[in-house]
Structure 1
Amino acid sequence: MAVLLETSVGDLTIDLMTEDRPQASLNFLKLCKLKYYNMCLFHSIQRNLVAQSGDPDGTGRGGQSMFKHLYGDQAVYFEAEAKPRIKHTRKGLVSMVNNGSNMHGSQFFITLADSLDYLDQQGHTVFGEVGEGDEVLDKLNDTFCDKNHQPLQNVRILHTIVLDDPYDDPPGLKFPESSPQINIKDYENDRLEYDDDIDPFKDKTEDEIERIQAEKTAKANAQILEMIGDLPDQDVAPEENVLFVCKLNPVTTEEDLEIIFSRFGAIKSCEVIKDSKTQESLQYAFIEFEKKEYCENAYFKMDNVLIDDRRIHVDFSQSVAKVKWKGKGKGVQTFEKKEKADTKSTAYTGGIYGLNHDDNFASKTHSKGEKAKRQHKSRSRSRHRERSPSLSRKRFTSRERRSRSRDQRKKRRERSRDRSRRSYSREKKYRDRSRDRRRSPPRDSKYRHR
């Protein structure tokens, strides 16, 4: 009462509930014995839900029961067994798919999670469970699928082996003695087949794997830099005869570096990158050798060397500032070293390693006429602001204006209340003084009685 399913991801042993589900168990056993499920696809795999198979067409709309082979087209499906009721309470249960009106054919599914109460209301019939092969269920659950839950790489049932069959073979059915020879090309579709090698790291060493991953990462970064405009082309590469030097002392000059690095070979250029405004060293430089070998020798010998009380660091340059994109389909152009006069408009005074602008840019933007116009506009705006202070007043939103109005009204009421209080106290003071005068005798009264 058990069946072994050999799939492309591993073997599954299914124990059948022959006492509770005799019809479904009989149908499944005899279909396995007929090799009906051989090369069937798991055409739908939903993560943490079910893995569905049993349709030879691989569409989820086909399949037929064993009884059709005995009674013809009128028995393509058989009626579901509703009692005893068995729920989908745990992972690894095997159920016949409801094809409508509580009828079953050949399709079945295996649960991939626990407590799937949703399936109990859909008319599916539990008739078995996975006895061995929990790791295969995990592989099925982790299969990559598209939005329609179809695996990107085909997962198939390769063979079915009946381990124990308590039912007699129906008369009229002819069972093959062994699995028929199958050509996989007859079953190919638009998906990757199960035996296709899609592991790019197969038979690779760790060093080769790291190199492949580093190349992929570098290519992806280059594509991003090309899209945002920092690289003229994703395949552009820096020159191999340029050395990058950093952690320099601010007092180290180009002449000092040229003298120190010239012992490795002839130097074409040596540039310490400086700030465009202050002309102070940014503490890194580019040294271009005439040959690649000279650059390599300097790289191996000069790293962590003490220059002007600083331990410098050297590396091969990754700068492509000397490369300019000509346009789509026109390739790139490498700049030659220019005179210092051409590099005054660059972001760094290093020249060819800085940001190169158009040659006419400085003359266009810094001409006397344009400069005078900008100054005149600036002065006009300043005078206008002085004459119209309301223009520089803060702009408020409607909510802020309402809140501001409430605050102003409140302040006005408080000021009015304070004035009223002061006025009242002042009047009271005057009244008290008048009353005191009326009650007190006049100053010269003592003289009047004499």
Structure 2
Amino acid sequence: ELSCGTLVVDLFVKDCPKACLNFLKLAKLKYYNNNLIFLVEKNFLIQSGDPTGTGKGGRSIFGILNEKSIGNGEKEAQNFKRGSQSPKHAPSMKTVGYFEDEIRPDIELNKKGLLCMANTGPNTNTSQFFVTLRGDDLEYLNGKHTIFGEVVEGLETLDTLGEVFVDEKHRPYQDVRILHTFVLDDPFPDPDGLIAPDKSPETLRPGEETVEERIAYGEDIDKKDEGRTKEEIEESIRKEQAKSRAEVLEMMGDLPDAEIKPPENVLFVCKLNPITMDEDLELIFSRFGEIKECEIIRDRETGESLQYAFIEFTTEEQSQEAYFKMNNVVVDDRRIKVDFSQSVAKIWNKWSMSKRAPGTIKPIPKMHDSKEGNKNTPHSYTTRSDTSNRERFPNSDRHNHRSERRSHRDRHEKHRHRDRDRHEKHRNRDKDRGRDHRRDRYRSRSRSRERHR
């Protein structure tokens, strides 16, 4: 029984009798009670069986029985702090109780929930064990660890264990402990000197545990979740994640403020027909109220519609009514999608312009007709004001500029193709001349040979 669920395991008593006997007798002695699951590697394994909680301790049942037979168990138990004790007080090989591996070639690490002995090398098994959390890509561990059992009930508990939050050493931030061990069937007789306790230990931590205390397994980590439903908790988590992402964007300079919110009177319309014009869309949506601005976003170079637009109403009620009545409506043979805009581009532009110091605005040259002035006349400049593109460039002028660019591009393409044809013609002519020259030279040589004969 774990602090996060229950596991039922079957042991391979015929294939690995020594490892199974060790595990069963330690469970009878309540040796595993309150032990930490000190190692959790997601989608790999969990490890426990060390009363010190460090991964460097643990003794087998054979070492415990040898310790009792030697008669110095109490003294060594007090000095048993693996990794920190001096060689003088270190437990001996007999009291640790290493026993040999029981490797079976027909038993492989190929499934989730296999129970294996943890070791530090060949034939160094004690009390530590691990359970696999996956069944693939574990072939490299075959032949190195004794596989002596498998989980038959409680695989969902393993899934829960695999998702706990851990530190850089893979120890859970909130303690996960083995609370109780129950032996349902023991085919091995008890060895001499084994006396099982009448009840489980009352302490929440083993006496040999040396790691720092963390959040207890029964302690509520987040008391603010008390009395809230699962949906409310998930909604709260989503809001916190959105806030953290906004703070990151603010630090990167992509948002003026993490608390900024998009305007609620602006609608986002997508899946438009490319032939739909701004005036058409504004006329359709104007029946819901006064429209401050309606703009279909177009390509900068070609002027073609990108098939989405932004519509700004004067009030939020008008935008809400337009949203409920215009979503999935067919416009110009296209079923459009309408949603509330999440863009803060205009707010960002106003904020960035307001943050600029006076006199630092980049001047824009003012265009003038070459007929009215000579080339020696100095250019006049004007400052960039905080006005929209629509106010600075009306739709008609903007389309005129685009048509001029297109005509210029067409003329350029025409000249380029004409030059290419001209070069191709000259190249072919040169080839023909070279061919004629070689033919004439060959004929002259033939005539000279005839005269010589």
For 1:309 and 1:109, locate their aligned partners in 2 and report how far apart those are by CA, in whole Å: 63
Residues of 2 paired with 1:311 and 1:13: CA distance?
58
Match of 1:12 in 2: 8
Q: Which residue of 1 aligns with 2:159?
A: 139
| Per-residue deviation, residues 153-188 of structure 1 (Å, max 9, x unmatched) | 5442211123344433644x6532111234479989
**Matching residue of 2:449:** 431
Which residue in 2 is equivalent to 1:168? Answer: 190
- List runs of 5+ in structure 2 lacking aligned partners: 77-91, 368-376, 382-432
Cα deviation, 1:99-128, whole Å, max 9, x if unaligned, reads 567344322334554896654654x555x3
Within 5 A, what are the aligned runs for 1:27-426?
27-46=22-41, 50-65=45-60, 66-67=64-65, 68-71=67-70, 72=73, 73=76, 74=92, 75-81=94-100, 86-87=104-105, 88-90=107-109, 91=111, 94-99=115-120, 102-110=123-131, 113=135, 118-119=140-141, 122=144, 124-125=145-146, 128-130=148-150, 132-133=152-153, 135=155, 139=159, 142-143=162-163, 148-151=169-172, 154-165=175-186, 166-168=188-190, 170-171=192-193, 175-183=196-204, 194-195=217-218, 204=229, 208=232, 211=235, 215=239, 219=243, 222=246, 226=250, 229-242=253-266, 249-252=277-280, 260-262=287-289, 270-273=292-295, 284=309, 286-289=311-314, 292-293=316-317, 295-297=319-321, 299-300=323-324, 315-324=339-348, 361=361, 363-366=363-366, 369=378, 423-426=441-444
**CA drift at 1:61:** 0.5
Using the alignment, how far apart are the partners of 2:151 and 2:328 within structure 1? 64
Q: Which amino acid counterpart does residue 450 of structure 2 have in structure 1?
A: D
Q: Deviations over 1:249-280 (max 9, x none)?
A: 544597x6897455xxxx5x723438899999
> 1:70-89: CA deviations, max 9, x gaps?
4334432224245x753452
The 2-side partners of 1:244 and 1:322 are apart by 14
Q: Structure 1 residues 44, 417: closer, same or farther in 2, change over 3 A?
A: farther
**Matches of 2:154 and 2:234 in 1, distance apart?**
33
Q: Distance in 1 between matches of 2:52 and 2:95?
A: 15
Shift of 1:427: 1.7
Evaluate the alpha carbon distance shift between residue 21 and residue 8 of structure 1 in structure 2; reply closer, same or farther with a 3 A threshold: same
Q: Quick one: percent identity of the two aligned structures?
A: 37
Counterparts in 2 of 1:232 and 1:81: CA distance versus 1, 3 Å: closer
* Partners of 1:277 and 1:27 in 2: CA distance: 78
- Aligned equivalents of 1:285 and 1:192: distance in 2? 51
Q: TM-score, normalised by structure 2?
A: 0.55
Q: What's the offset of the Cα at 1:288? A: 4.1
Q: Flag the structure with higher strand content.
A: 1
CA contact (8 A) 2:4 2:157 kept: no
C-alpha change, 1:48 and 1:70, in structure 2 (3 Å) is farther
Paired residue total:
351
How many angstroms does 1:198 deviate by?
7.6
Give the counterpart letter for 2:47 in structure 1.
Answer: Q
What code does the residue aligned with 1:132 have? V
Distance (Å, rounded) in 1 between the aligned partners of 2:203 and 2:23? 22
Q: Distance in 1 between matches of 2:310 and 2:15?
A: 84
Which residue identity lines up with residue 7 of structure 2 in the other structure?
D
- Work out the CA distance in 2 between the residues paired with 1:319 and 1:283: 13
Alpha-carbon distance between aligned partners in 1 of 2:288 and 2:198, rounded to the nearest angstrom: 82
Spell out, residue by residue over 1:32-75, the C-alpha distance to the aligned partner (whole angstroms, 9 max, x if none): 22211112123234567654321012111012232234433443
Checking the alignment, whether the CA contact within 8 Å between 1:238 and 1:317 is kept in structure 2 is yes
